[in-house]
Structure 1
């Protein structure tokens, strides 16, 4: 393995473990020593990969959202379903995984928005970029559903997508409190397939 590949693999391992720990313990409850130990990276090496914990948090946000963007894109690219059905399939897949994991963690974006979103400029920017990327992809699916006649056309797709982001985050918070998928299923049925449907 080249030095560059080894460096990239180590950085990815730090981010993987950092995301998992932040989902469980929050940003402030996750220490750098804990991340290094979980990733089996020598103490003192952290600053080779990240200039600060704040920058680590910002990169963890990008690292966290990437697979969700990829999966949502895959659902939207499926030729056998319309835009609204693709979005429903994506959210239902997320619900199944959250149920299988006993509702642990929720969403790192929502967790961090509440914990550090107002305090750190770099964290706020990273969170905004991640949410905007996610929202824009939802809007793409909704615009397609509008063109197909499946989604309401009296609201812009982007405005509907903003509402979906906010509704999903609220449903995730209720899920954590109630230890139930009911708020998530209500989100899909009432907001996505109810309010957004033509």
Structure 2
């Protein structure tokens, strides 16, 4: 791929993300995305073979960026793993309780919708969440080693449990339009990890 090809492709993905976060995947037509991106409609298929392939690329890009941000938080020098865990969940609380669409969770927005429509997009969601869970489990293991987090029978299972709490809380935040569910998730996380 040429640099220009990558730049235009990335520009389409970057332009589409807030639109899809606002309306969902099915409700957004290619014309709307390409008009917003100022890219000729006929060139879409030069970058993506179908809307479904575009959806896969959008999810892959989202998870790559998310994992990069997560790595930055979990690799912060001068803090123990418990502090890094609280920084991650605190960041989740702040981004998911504000009105800034750009920071909203694409997994929460699309999971129910596309999992029933596209097996390949569902697969992207599975792979992406597995990458996140592996990083959370690794931080939990580091917390056991530096004694900032208690020992768990399975850090993988604890990571999954925490992620499920936060996904559910994020959905409730959309329903309630307040941050009470996310604040409850933070309290549950502090309790589970014995962090104050």
TM-score under structure 2 length normalisation: 0.91
CA distance in 2 between counterparts of 1:80 and 1:131 reads: 27
Q: Choose the corresponding residue for 1:194, options 181, 191, 196.
A: 191
CA distance in 2 between counterparts of 1:105 and 1:68 reads: 10
CA distance in 2 between counterparts of 1:105 and 1:114 reads: 19
Q: Choose the corresponding residue for 1:183, options 164, 177, 181.
A: 181
CA distance in 1 between counterparts of 2:146 and 2:178 reads: 33
Structure 1 window deviating more from structure 2 (109-118 vs 145-154): it is 145-154
CA distance in 2 between counterparts of 1:13 and 1:33 reads: 15
Aligned-residue Cα RMSD (Å) equals 1.9
CA distance in 2 between counterparts of 1:157 and 1:35 reads: 41
Q: How does 1:26-45 map to 2 (within 5 A)?
A: 26-45=24-43
Q: Could you say if the C-alpha distance between residues 127 and 155 of structure 1 is closer, same or farther in structure 2, counting changes exceeding 3 Å?
A: same
TM-score under structure 1 length normalisation: 0.91
Q: Could you say if the C-alpha distance between residues 54 and 16 of structure 1 is closer, same or farther in structure 2, counting changes exceeding 3 Å?
A: same
Structure 1 residues not aligned, in runs of 5+: none
CA distance in 1 between counterparts of 2:150 and 2:20 reads: 38
Per the alignment, residue 170 of structure 1 pairs with: 168
Q: Residues 98 and 104 of structure 1 are in contact (CA less than 8 Å); yes or no, is this contact kept in structure 2? A: no
